[in-house]
Amino acid sequence: MSTGFFGDIKPIKYEGPDSTNPLAYRFYNPDEVVAGKRMEDHLRFAVAYWHSFAWPGGDPFGGQTFERPWFAETMEGARLKADVAFEMFTLLGAPYYCFHDADVRPEGANFSESAERLDEIVGIFEKKQKETGVKLLWGTANLFSNRRFMAGAATNPDPDVFAYAAATVKKCLDVTQRLKGENYVLWGGREGYETLLNTDLKREREQAGRFLSMVVDYKHRIGFKGAILIEPKPQEPTKHQYDYDVATVYGFLKDFGLENEVKVNIEQGHAILAGHSFEHELALANALGIFGSIDMNRNDYQSGWDTDQFPNNVPEMALAYYHVLEGGGFETGGTNFDAKLRRQSLDPQDLLIAHIGGMDCCARGLKAAARMVEDKALSGPLEERYAGWNSAEAKAMLSGQRKLEDIAERVVKEKIEPRPRSGRQEFLENIVNRYV
């Protein structure tokens, strides 16, 4: 039985690029085959429970703007929220969703009560997943909203907080497994510091390493098949976060011997906050062999914080999916809309329209990316640029067969004078623009 929250709306359908219906897909056509795979199977869209159903519309200067019938922090509210959430997943035809423990159940009086409440809601999710076919892309623990985590979770100076965080992650991993979640995400929202004056960096880093090692160990012991993903972010809410960007996370994983165990969930807005582009983070994760999943959204380029807007820039999406495809596409990962409405977008329909626009934009990006891959539009010129390295002598330099003095001798003997070649940036930019 419908909750009536979205009114009399039929499931959103693909109507093609010429449709002017705001409640239809113009580019996302789940069954359309792109580069040998259905679009739905490429993109693996997920709706984020927190932004769409738990966030009240507040900002630093004002509180709740959204009025939702489930906003009272009660179990009754949590059950209604679950009903509406699955209604929306179904209306959109979104194959996946993601959630934190705190998004789906009200906090209990103690750890055990919170856990019991989570179990009850997870029981509801289990039933609804079966009924609707919607699946869990990833589960995660909220280790940043409650005041107990104000000085960090795993990196807290208080070992009781470390313990509470460990118990929480164990619980969340258990329910993620129960719901057949395909990944488990750790975003270290408060794993960082406000000031170095009260922070022992070395100690906190060791704590984070121990914590993650225990999570990986537990995952194997319960036979969780999904991937463990770290989501990098450089700052906000803390002044400095330890999982700064993909490169920093990789160094951390190497240090604790976890580089083959943990991958990354890369978010567009976090990449921008770190002073990178989204495609930089994706390309680097591919190069390091730790690409896992993406949190899709958009940051306002004029404001220096994480605005979590819905994506609407097709050329950017095209380059993002280009790297996803070049890396072989998603395995357990997918496209999670870690995006929220603007706080003036009050209507239930706004939730649908935002996701429709985001999904269409990703679909256009994917299609452009697939054609670029197929035509070797960028990989062709790239191969050509590095072709010099195919010679026997060049290979010998890289494989350790030459010493510095051998190379120096050859430069003199063969009178080597490098001749610079154009990097052809504008030529390549024009190629990309032909595809979008």
CB 253 within 8 A of CB 232: no
| Least distance CB 245 / ligand XUL (angstroms) | 13
Identify the active-site residue in 42, 101, 103, 323: 103
- How many amino acids of this chain bind ligand XUL (CB under 6 A)? 10
* Interacting residue ranges for Co ion, rule: CB under 5 A: 267, 295, 338
Beta carbons within 8 Å of 367's beta carbon, 6+ residues apart: 27, 34
Q: Where are the alpha helices (DSSP H) in 241-298?
A: 246-255, 268-273, 278-288
Q: Choosing among Co ion, ligand XUL, none, which partner's interface includes residue 87 (Cβ < 5 to 8 Å by kind)?
A: none
Q: Which residues, 94 to 123, sit near ligand XUL by CB under 6 A?
A: 100
Q: Which residues, 294 to 323, sit near ligand XUL by CB under 6 A?
A: 295, 306
Side-chain half-sphere CA neighbours of 107 within 13 A: 12
For residue 178 the two structure tokens come to 């129960």
The 3-state DSSP class for residue 105 equals: coil
CA distance 356 to 390: 46
Q: Choosing among Co ion, ligand XUL, none, which partner's interface includes residue 140 (Cβ < 5 to 8 Å by kind)?
A: ligand XUL
Query: Is 267 near ligand XUL (CB under 6 A)?
Result: yes
Q: Respond yes or no: is residue 375 known to be catalytic.
A: no
Identify the active-site residue in 42, 51, 100, 355: 100
Q: Respond yes or no: is residue 270 known to be catalytic.
A: no
Out of 204, 231, 243, 360, the residue judged to bind ligand XUL by CB under 6 A: 231
225: exposed, middle or buried (Cβ count in 10 Å: 0-12, 13-18, 19+)? exposed
Which residue number, 88 or 137, has a Cβ lying nearer to ligand XUL?
137
Out of 103, 182, 338, 360, the residue judged to bind ligand XUL by CB under 6 A: 338
DSSP-assigned letter for residue 303: S
CA distance 271 to 315: 16
Q: Choosing among Co ion, ligand XUL, none, which partner's interface includes residue 191 (Cβ < 5 to 8 Å by kind)?
A: none
Residue with tokens 């010679």, as numbered in its chain? 391
E-assigned strand segments in 354-407: none
Which residue number, 174 or 338, has a Cβ lying nearer to ligand XUL?
338
| Position closest to ligand XUL via CB | 187
| Least distance CB 23 / ligand XUL (angstroms) | 27
Closest CA to 355 of 311, 299, 315, 320: 311
- Which amino acids are annotated catalytic? 100, 103
Binding site for ligand XUL (CB under 6 A): 100, 140, 185, 187, 231, 233, 267, 295, 306, 338
